[in-house]
Amino acid sequence: MRMSLAQRVLMTWLFTLLFLIVLVLKLDDKAPWNWFLVFIPLWIFDAILLVVLIVKIIGRCKSGYDRNGSNLKKKIWYLCAMLLKLGFLLALCARLEQFTQMELTFVFIPLWLLLIGAMVDIGYNIYSMRPD
């Protein structure tokens, strides 16, 4: 299950375009859909990414495949990032549908954790690639 870069980019653009079209329809009151339905393109995209990521993690767990575990750690970070993104989207949809009266501060906590983790990951990668 290997996709070329062009296929991944095309898939990303397609799902983003579908989401933006549905979002505009919802915001213009042309579609009386539930907010969870509006986010379906993102749910599908995330589900595909999670399946690919889990398959890669399982492949890495084979004995002797990754001796130092650096690639496995990176895959685990990607899995945590995906779960944080899904948590944010679920909290946002629940808030928009008024299933909960959660404050926006709490809705955005998973997104903030994701952004902080991404900054740390980028900083670590830049620092570790620096010649001494």
What pLDDT is stored for residue 125 in this prediction? 85
Over residues 70-78, mean pLDDT: 81
What pLDDT is stored for residue 21 in this prediction? 95
What pLDDT is stored for residue 69 in this prediction? 63
DSSP string computed for 52-109:
HHHHHHHHHTSTTS-SS-HHHHHHHHHHHHHHHHHHHHHHHHHHHTTS----HHHHTH
Dump pLDDT digits (tens) for 81-123. 999 999 999 999 999 998 888 899 999 999 999 999 999 999 9
Predicted model pTM: 0.82
What pLDDT is stored for residue 66 in this prediction? 61
What pLDDT is stored for residue 28 in this prediction? 94
